[in-house]
Amino acid sequence: MNMDMRVNQDQPLQIMRYIIVMAVIVFPFAACMLLSCTSTLLAAYSDPLDIAAIKMEAAQNSLLLDVEYAGKRLVTVGERGHILYSDDQGKSWQQADVDAMAHLNAVFFINEQLGWAVGEDQVIMRSNDGGTSWKRIYDNRTADLVAPLLDVLFLDEQNGFAVGAYGTLLTTADGGQSWQDDRDLIDNIDEWHYNAIIRTQGGSLYIAGEKGFVYRSDDNGQSWDVLRIPRELTPEEIEDLVEPFVEVSFLGVVAMKKEERLVFFGVGGRIFVTDDGGQNWRQVEIDTSAGLAGGSLLADGSILIVGSDGAVVRGDAEAQNFAVLIRDDRLPLTAVMPIGDDQFVTVGIAGILLSDLDELNGQPRKN
């Protein structure tokens, strides 16, 4: 009995010794090891924006998000700073020299030599040799809220725009050497995203935005008008004071050959057309609810639009009738560009795909 009591009396002392040893010796040692490892990792870390993109044989099969012409050359951009170009109408591709491993969302060329690409961390790249090599000229990685840039447009070699998430609008007047935050030029207090920007043949600028918002400038971006697409409300919506406007996130826009005709498209496979620069609108019903991400004008004045679920949509020059093809692989597509009169190239999650326009001439396959 006395022995059991002595053991029980010693237990608190043993526990206290254990705590002291852990607190004085083990925990500080572990903390030092953790700090040492953390310091080593931090010392070894390099920001991807400061690392040149790695050249890979499989780069053309990686995630690519936009494709554009630089003269007769095709240029596509995407993840990890991957930029590729083709001089044989998409049959073969070479990877460009890129000095930043940045995720790139869009590319634009003002002529066959000079182009810009934009992406995450508000990175902006420039090429002076038709897309063969690229240099980072701007980023905003240290900002409290770094909104990705989603599209880029230049009016000439000096004046350009980069638009993106949370109402980001950057402008430059020196070819991209410096950029100014001009978000206050647009009435967008809720900071809806700007997903695409284009210029029509008549010189008007349009931005495709979230929540059905469209923005138009007739003075090269000095001021912007906010356009909404009206819709009829149900009695319940009227009672709930719902705004009488279409609420669809537009992901892209294509200017048709008719000067004031534009096709806006986006989430849910929804397409809206204006024939008069945004004064009046009509919705076009298509046989898919796949999100539509990118589009391009064909030589005959018709339009191609691509999106998720392998959707390829072709509309006539009047933007009245649209046929839908769903690719068998159903891989998401993000951008499209015609090649000659009978082919087109798409980019997306599986990289670069080359297709024939004849594939779209048959009976459309419904989703």
Query: 225: which strand partners?
Result: 216
pTM comes to 0.85
On the CB side of 217, CA atoms within 13 Å amount to: 17
The mean pLDDT of 321-329, rounded to a whole number, is 93
d(CA 332, CA 309): 5
pLDDT computed for residue 58 by the predictor: 93
pLDDT computed for residue 11 by the predictor: 54
pLDDT computed for residue 363 by the predictor: 40
DSSP 100: -
pLDDT computed for residue 231 by the predictor: 84
Residue-wise pLDDT tens digits, 84-122: 999 999 999 999 999 999 999 999 999 999 999 999 999
Q: Give the closest residue to 144 by CA, choosing from 122, 163, 119.
A: 122
pLDDT computed for residue 7 by the predictor: 42
d(CA 38, CA 189): 41
Q: Is the pLDDT of residue 334 over 70?
A: yes
d(CA 9, CA 15): 11
Phi, psi of 50 (to 5 degrees): -105, 5
Structure tokens at 21: 């040893």
d(CA 361, CA 325): 9
The mean pLDDT of 170-199, rounded to a whole number, is 97
Structure tokens at 188: 């967008």
Tokens 């905003």 label which residue?
140
Residue 349, phi-psi category: left (phi > 0), alpha (psi -120 to 50), beta (remainder)? alpha
- pLDDT bin (cut points 50, 70, 90) of residue 344 is very high
d(CA 166, CA 28): 44
pLDDT computed for residue 229 by the predictor: 92
pLDDT computed for residue 223 by the predictor: 98
What is the SS3 assignment for 18? helix
- pLDDT bin (cut points 50, 70, 90) of residue 43 is low
